[in-house]
Each structure stands twice: as structure tokens, then as C-alpha cells.
Amino acid sequence: MGAQPSTPAVAAGPADPEPASLVTLSVPDRAAMERLVASGADLTERVRPQADGSVQVDAVVTESQLEALRPLGATLASEAPQSPPQARAKAAAPQDQIVIERAVWYESRDGYFLSVEASSSAAQAADLTVSWRGKKGTSGQAEMVAYVDAGQYLGHQFSTPVPAGNQPQSITVTSAGGGQAEAKVRQWPDGDRPDRASRGYQKDFVTQYMTPAQLNERVKDLHRRYPKLTDLITLPYKTNGYRRHAQAVLGTPPAAAVVVTSDAYGSEGGNDLSVELVDPGAPDRPLQASLDGKLVTVSLATDASGALVSTAAQVAAAINAAAGLPVKASVYRTDPGAGVMAPAPATQLDDFLNAPADVSREPAEVLALRIGVHRDGSRTGVLAYSQEHAREWVTPLVSIEAAERLLRNYAGDKATRKLLERTDVFIVPVVNPDGANYSFYDFNSQRKNMTNHCPPQQSDPALRNQWGVDVNRNYAAGSVHDGYVGGSTNCQSGSYAGPAEHSEPESRNVMWLADTYRNIKFAMNVHSYGGYFMWPPGAYQAEGRVTLPRPTPEEEEFFLDSARTIEEAIVAERGTVIWPQQTGPVTDVLYSAAGNSADELWYDYGIYGWDFEVGADLWNSETRRWEPVGFQPPFSEGHQEAMEFAAGLISLIGIAADYRDR
């Protein structure tokens, strides 16, 4: 039976996390969107500009986090007023110059759609309208949206591709300032079509969402069955493991409460400990802490009348000062702990991990499956790695499905045989196994790993869903530590970059592959959701919006041409088209993401690094709106996403097979 999304805990006490939800936020403009990114909010990659100039973005937030974002301009999209674009006075501005940068149509399983990108010499002040004519007498009109990022005007586009009835053939872009431009409409993605598969080509090998243990067994099994075509690589850096220190909260937060934390992990004895606070029942008794077996007893101090007088701060200090105790204590969050503690019955410590006992609590090994006929460094290498973000359950299915197709079809499919003879493929199904386990068994919205770098005031158990490092912000190129936007130094942030670059074994493992196997020239980082295809630069500095160096025009052309070919393979599976406005450098089509892995692979190793965001929006023909799929869609949808992006990954391997050093 396949794993299903875990149910967030319902807050009921001082040790229970505040429930989090996946919501759509609305901000009034792009500047407010930039404030959200800079705040470290847990944003998804699904960002949608609106016709009125506002921006909608999906995010994972608790109620208190949402309230903290409201001063930045964020509201729930359901609360945001729906207002039309502001009309501008046509006569007030001189005639502007319009440049149509891209006008394309595509046909998907949902019909024909039009996408247009243009710019005006009046910049964001321009009001642009697109009208079009198409086959069978079809026509239409739609408003464009100004795209402004970090104060810089990047052009106008549709908020989403618009339904066109039939194939659009020509467009006219008209400005309220009097400018006008015309263009023919080209087809998208218009890349090289996939090779025709042989009769009997095998695919469709994933049948459920898979936990890290299941993924590891799958790659081990592939290695056992195809020993002449594979190597199994155990990456050198073990992760922290699916484990935490056991904790208990004694008293009533905030003033009269103490957080007790075991020295040992819960699975290594911490869960066996208990702590009690007792009234000695006599006057003038000192505050004392002692251990009897697995029970820590704190005898509270009394005054001359026998009244209890020990404050929370004093209790925490007494526990920490007592010799031989297997626990440490702190006051609750930032409260000074001046409240007087009351007796508390023996409370057992808990690591609050809910996975079955057969889920390992040991540091985890991360595996890579190397596939190819010549695995000696003589062939062009391709690295595919998934699930840096724990909650993205579809992404490892993409990697596993691609591996299965390559190996099972080698004997009978000429095109597959060519791929394995000409390339050297490295597949890492799950970069972040600890976080993935936590997502499956404890908190399905977990993004980060499970290493807690927070100080005691941010480490009581009710905050446990906010701990961890965003693995895809922990790399060295363009990091937050170097002043780039899109990562956070707040340990509770969804985009926390860690205490230092490469502080986490998960990021070190990825870079070890690049450093060890210098024949790797291509990499695909598989993420979800939103339907993007991106490449460097992925980050910029806020002052002046200075991006990491842009690729040369020739390199940019190679990135784009390759993307169009890969997207042809994706659309061939079930008609899903990656929108042209979501195909391009990260800083152009999404937002700044400081310290991401594709940037380090490109800038430090010269590896063409791409990012998939699987899970493109689905068109609802009844509401005539594009709708999101989420991180863990019903498996029927997740399965389809895995099929189409596995085809895209194999197309990338085909590009590598034809690659020669440029």
C-alpha cells in the first residue's frame, strides 16, 4: 500500500505544533512579493501575477505566520479584493514604443492557448492589450501584466496563458499610450521531437509514492538485476538521521514553564526518561535536582512558610547544574522565567516521531545509481537528483521511472541503447531522506532536513515543524551569506540556509558527485510544483538587482534550445506544456533563490544545471482557470507527472549523448 499524506497535528498543548496549511497568498505588487521572499516565508514555486498588478503565490503557513506576513502586504487570496486594472490616461503620455519579444501558441490536451511577452518604452506605466486572430475565424483579446522585480521592469506578459479557441496566427499589441506592434505567432515549444520508441518499449514502473527506504530498495534491486550496466554508489556524508532529542514542557507557558531536553536522541534512550517537579512538603527546603534510574526529580524550594518559591529560570538552572543528569533545561522561548513553578507529575520525554519502529533512526546513507555501458569517465555524465525538499513526493518517482526505462529498454530499444553507450548517468532519488521520512510520517508539509540549529529559545517541541535547513539554499554560489536574496539566516524560516554554506551533509553529497566525477556536464534538479523549467542565474543581490553572471549568448541559446527539446518530450506523454513564460533563468521567471544547487554546479563546475518544477497547473474548463496540483496530489495525478517528467529527463540524457565540449 502506498504512503499517504500525513495529517498535521491539531494544537492541543504546549508541545503541539501550530497547524500549517498550504494556501494561496495575494500581495498588492511585485515589491511586496520581494518582501515575502526576503522574509524567509515558506513559499512554493507557483507564482502568478494578476491583471490588477497584484501577485499570488502559494505558501505553507501557520495562522501566526500568516499574521506576521500581513504587515508585508500579504493576505489570503480569498480575502483579496478583485479589482480591474487601473485605467491610465492615454493623452497624458507620449506614444510609446512596443517590442514583442515572444508570441507563441501551443496545443495541449485542454485546447489551444496563447502566450505573449512584450515590452514598452513606458515601462510598467504602460497598459498593454493583445488582440489576436487565428484559424477558423477565431479571435480574442486579453490584458497584459507588467512584470517588475526588485524595482526593475522586465516586460509585460499574460498572468497565465489564455485560451485561444484555435491556433492563433497573428497578434497586435496596443498600448494605452498609443504604441502598437504586430507579430506572427509561432508554435511552442518547437524543439526536436523525441525519438520514436521501438515496439515493446517499456514504461510505467511506479505504482505508489515511495518512502526513502522503498526508494533505496528500488535502486539496490536495479543494481542487482543489471550489474553490467550499473554501479551503486554510497555517498560519503551520512545525514543526521530520522531522529530527535526527547523533550517535555513542564508548567504553564510562557512565564512558568521549563523545557527539558534529553542529551541522548529519543531512540537512544531519551524517550525512556521522565521528569517530575515535587513539593518537599516542608519549610525552608532548597531547590534540588536528582536522578533515580530513568526519573529526574526536581524538589522545589520553599520559604519559611512552606510556600513554593522556585521560578522557571531557577528550575532550569538547577537541572543544568546537577551532576550526572541526562537532560538539559531552558526557560520557555524568550520569557525570562520569572514565574513560580508548581508541582508536576512525572512526565515522560518524547521525541515526537511517529514513524513505525522499522523506520531507521540511524544516520542515513544516500545512494546514487550509476547507469551506463562505459562507467569509466569517458562518456558525458548526467546527474539527476530529487527530493532536496522533503514534501515533494512526486520528484523521486521521476528519477526512478527514468532509471527503470533506461535499464529495462536497453536490450530491445535502439535509442535507449545509444543513450547508455554514449552517456554516464548518475541518479540520486532522494537527497534529503530524513526530511522525507518526517514528511511521510509526521508533518506532510516538511520542506527542510531534520538538523536543528536553533538555540534553546527556539527549540521547544511545539516549534519542531519549523526546524531544519533548506537543502537547496545551503550551497555556496550566490548564497545568503554572500548577500544574495532568497535564503534566510533565521533557523525557523522555510528557506533557512543553515549556519554556513555546505553545513549540511545533503548538500555536500551533491557537490561530492560533481567534484568526484568530472565527466558530469549536465544536471537536473527535480522539484515540485508549478510547471517550470529553469536554469542559472538563480540569485541576485537586492541592491541594484545584480544577478550572478548571466550565461553568454551562446550558452543561453543552448540552455533554451535544450529546454524546448526536453519540453517536447514532456508534452508527448499526455499533452502537458511548460509555459514559455516559466521557461528561462530562475531570476527571470520566478524569484531569487540564494544558494541553490544548480548555480553552484554551473558557476563552480561548468555543469549545465537545470531545475524541473514538476506539477504544472491543470486547466479547469468549467471555471476557465488554471488550478494548482500541490506537493502530494492524488497518486493518479502524481503518477502522470512522473511519467511526463521522466520522459523529459531521458530527453536530457539524449542531449548529453549528442554533446561535445563547446
Cβ atoms of residues 161 and 110 within 8 Å: no
Task: Read off the amino acid at residue 211.
Answer: T
Which helix (H) or strand (E) covers residue 654, if one does? helix 635-657
Nearest to 524 by CA among 403, 379, 434, 658: 403
Q: How far apart are CA 111 and CA 331, in angstroms?
A: 60
Q: How far apart are CA 273 and CA 248, in angstroms?
A: 10
Q: How far apart are CA 241 and CA 361, in angstroms?
A: 6
Nearest to 37 by CA among 69, 66, 62: 69
Cβ atoms of residues 205 and 399 within 8 Å: no
Name 617's Cβ contacts closer than 8 Å, sequence gap at least 6: 46, 160, 530, 531, 626, 627, 628, 629
Nearest to 166 by CA among 193, 186, 145, 138: 138
Which helix (H) or strand (E) covers residue 64, if one does? helix 63-69
From 568, 613, 641, 644, the catalytic residue: 613
Q: How far apart are CA 73 and CA 39, in angstroms?
A: 12
The separation between CA 167 and the C-alpha centre of its own chain, rounded to angstroms, equals 35
Q: How far apart are CA 609 and CA 214, in angstroms?
A: 27
Asked, as a colleague might, if the bond just before 529 is cis with ω within 30 of 0, I would say yes
Rg value, the chain, Cα = 28
Q: How far apart are CA 307 and CA 305, in angstroms?
A: 6
Residue owning grid cell 536495479: 222
- 521 grid coordinates: 556536464
Task: Read off the amino acid at residue 643.
Answer: M
Say whether 444 sits in a helix, a strand or coil. coil
Say whether 258 sits in a helix, a strand or coil. strand
Which residues on adjacent β-strands are paired with residue 535? 585
Active site (annotated) includes residue 555: no
Name 660's Cβ contacts closer than 8 Å, sequence gap at least 6: none
Q: How far apart are CA 380 and CA 372, in angstroms?
A: 10
Please count the other Cβ atoms lying within 10 Å of the Cβ belonging to residue 5. 17
**Burial status of residue 222 (CB atoms within 10 A of its CB: 0-12, 13-18, 19 or more):** buried
Q: How far apart are CA 483 and CA 542, in angstroms?
A: 8
- 28 grid coordinates: 498588492
- 224 grid coordinates: 542487482
Catalytic annotation, residues = 613
